Amino acid sequence: MKRAILLRFVAILMLALAVSSVFSYYFIGKNMLKSNRESMLNTIHVVDYSLNYDGDLQEQLSRLHEATMDENSRVTIIGEDGTVVADNEIEQVDSLENHLEREEVKEALRSGSGFATRNSESLGENMLYVAVHSKKGPYVVRMAVPYTNMLDYMILIFPVLLLGTGIAFAMSVVIAVRFTNTITTPLNEISREMEKVRSDNPSFTFKTYKYKELNVISATTMKMAEEIREHMDRLEKEKRIRQEFFSNASHELKTPITSVRGYAELLDQGFVTDEAVKKDFIARILKETDNMTNLINDILMISRLEAKEAEVTYSTVRMVPLLTEIFESVEPIAAEYQVTLHKECEPVSIEASAKQLRELIMNLVSNGIKYNHPGGNVWVEISARGTDMCVRVRDDGCGIRKEDQDRIFERFYRVDKGRSKKMGGTGLGLSIVKHIAEYYNGHIELESEPGKGSCFAVTIPGNQTKS
């Protein structure tokens, strides 16, 4: 990458230098030609000032040329009628043709000064002509110097421009190398840091770079690494939950199956002859099969809720009759555990599944009863908060420790495994509550203190109405 950047930079630089050199050659050559014209004009003015037009112009011009001018220059005095009066190169000026039609002479007579470049017939080479209309008499003073074309001037300045271009190129290459390093060095550092992703617990350290785009890359890499770490932690947690789920599910199914098999073998082998005992064994087998059925149904319900594939029949659910029905169902259990039930329900209706809402509230109330003490209480409050419905189930039972509250909604997680076994159930109740709430884009909050009880608050968004 460094080589590619450097080569492209140098290529662009070479192109820029070539274009700038061409323009420099052209404009500098043009300026030099202009400077030469101005210098020749000044010389002509000096000649014009020095000449005595009443004397011998040929002799004066020859002396003046020898004393002050370059030998390659040529000065000609031309009358206004185009007749050549004097010329420092040619003594027999009578042999020269009339110069009235010469471009520089016509321009000088018209505007005071004139310029032209052409081949001299008398000298046989290209010349640059500059002519000025004399202020002292009816004459045109013309000066000529050898001139091929503008390339002559460009050749003169080529060594200087070549030296300048070389120095500029060398300096630009040094700058290009340093500039390339300011890009590639941070990229290499970022690349080395990103290789740490392969490690189990990568820790990144990025510098603050000169260019904000590089800082964006490092910041994005840090963010991506954090997201990957969180994703890996989430996958690890899900893996652990799955392993615990399969372990717990197999255990929960294995226990009743073992009991059913034991009772069935005793009955099959004829060890039990008493009819009352047979009926008891059959009743236990039916109870265990009911437990297995409930467990499987709960597992399937959670799976469908997670996949959003639960078959839900929506209807307008009136919460007051629903809560009354739930209380009637759990009153025998509450009487068994000597727990008093209390309810406070606003006349709220919600578009949802009556079966799912019944399951949600039933699980919370059942837990409040089972994990309580004789003489305890369970309060159920249902209210509307704007368009949301809130269900609060509070008890004054044993409560939940802080370290268990984060895992209480996991499948098969039990705070007190010994007591939970005695209470019965599948260990999926609170997990079902959480999944039902999330199915409706709601959420559940828990407040609990050991020895003082727990409060579960479920909020379900929707279009509630007073019923």
Q: Which of 248, 281, 302 is the last residue of a domain?
A: 302
Span 430-436, mean pLDDT? 85
- Structure confidence at residue 419 as a pLDDT band (50, 70, 90): very low
- Structure confidence at residue 229 as a pLDDT band (50, 70, 90): confident
Of 131-135, 227-231, 282-286, 333-337, the least confident: 227-231
For residue 353, give the nearest of 307, 305, 385, 394 by alpha carbon.
305
The reply to whether 114 falls in a domain is yes
pLDDT at position 289 is 80
Q: What is the pTM of this model?
A: 0.46
Span 275-303, mean pLDDT? 75
What order do you get walking across the sheet with 74-79 strand by strand? 84-87, 74-79, 139-146, 126-133, 113-119
**Are 86 and 57 within 8 A, CB to CB?**
yes
* Count: domains in the chain: 3
81 SS3 class? coil
**318/422 same-domain check:** yes
pLDDT at position 466 is 44
Q: Give 65's contacts (C-beta < 8 A, 6+ positions apart).
A: 73, 75, 88
Domain of residue 295, CATH code: 1.10.287.130
The reply to whether 187 falls in a domain is no
Cα–Cα dist 271/267, whole Å:
6
- Domain span including residue 421: 313-466
415 vs 140, residue with greater confidence: 140
Q: How many CB atoms lie within 10 A of CB 35?
A: 11
Which tokens hold the place of 446? 């828990």
Does 298 score more than 70 pLDDT?
no
Q: Which of 263, 278, 302 is the last residue of a domain?
A: 302
109, amino acid identity = L
**267/139 same-domain check:** no
For residue 351, give the nearest of 221, 217, 462 by alpha carbon.
462
Q: How far is CA 425 from CA 204, 330, 357, 405, 414, in A?
A: 48, 14, 19, 19, 11
What order do you get walking across the sheet with 465-466 strand by strand? 315-318, 348-352, 465-466
Q: Which of 234, 268, 302 is the last residue of a domain?
A: 302
**Are 133 and 41 within 8 A, CB to CB?**
no
> Rg (Cα) of the chain, in Å, rounded?
54
Cα–Cα dist 29/24, whole Å:
8
**451/347 same-domain check:** yes
pLDDT at position 59 is 86
**287/344 same-domain check:** no
Q: 340-345 and 377-385 as β-strands: parallel, antiparallel, unpaired?
A: parallel
Domain of residue 318, CATH code: 3.30.565.10
**Are 391 and 361 within 8 A, CB to CB?**
yes
**293/401 same-domain check:** no
pLDDT at position 426 is 58
The reply to whether 106 falls in a domain is yes
For residue 397, give the nearest of 413, 419, 418 by alpha carbon.
419
The sign of the dihedral angle between the CA atoms of 307, 308, 312, 318 is positive
Q: How far is CA 396 from CA 58, 368, 369, 400, in A?
A: 136, 8, 10, 11
The reply to whether 201 falls in a domain is no
**400/282 same-domain check:** no
The reply to whether 390 falls in a domain is yes
Q: Give 278's contacts (C-beta < 8 A, 6+ positions apart).
A: 267, 272
Span 64-74, mean pLDDT? 79
Tell me which H or E stretch contains 315. Answer: strand 315-318
**Tokens 């220059």 belong to which residue?**
73
**6/117 same-domain check:** yes
Span 29-37, mean pLDDT? 75
Cα–Cα dist 123/125, whole Å:
6
**24/144 same-domain check:** yes
pLDDT at position 342 is 94
**256/338 same-domain check:** no
The reply to whether 107 falls in a domain is yes
pLDDT at position 435 is 84
Backbone angles phi, psi at 126, to 5 degrees: -75, 140
**318/425 same-domain check:** yes
pLDDT at position 133 is 92
Q: How many CB atoms lie within 10 A of CB 200?
A: 5
Share of the chain above pLDDT 70, in %: 75
What order do you get walking across the sheet with 388-395 strand by strand? 340-345, 377-385, 388-395, 453-461, 443-449
**Are 342 and 377 within 8 A, CB to CB?**
yes
**6/38 same-domain check:** yes
pLDDT at position 420 is 47
**456/321 same-domain check:** yes
Tell me which H or E stretch contains 5. Answer: helix 2-50
**Are 170 and 177 within 8 A, CB to CB?**
no
The reply to whether 161 falls in a domain is no
Domain of residue 73, CATH code: 3.30.450.20
pLDDT at position 242 is 67
The reply to whether 84 falls in a domain is yes
Does 464 score more than 60 pLDDT?
no
Which tokens hold the place of 363? 């699980």
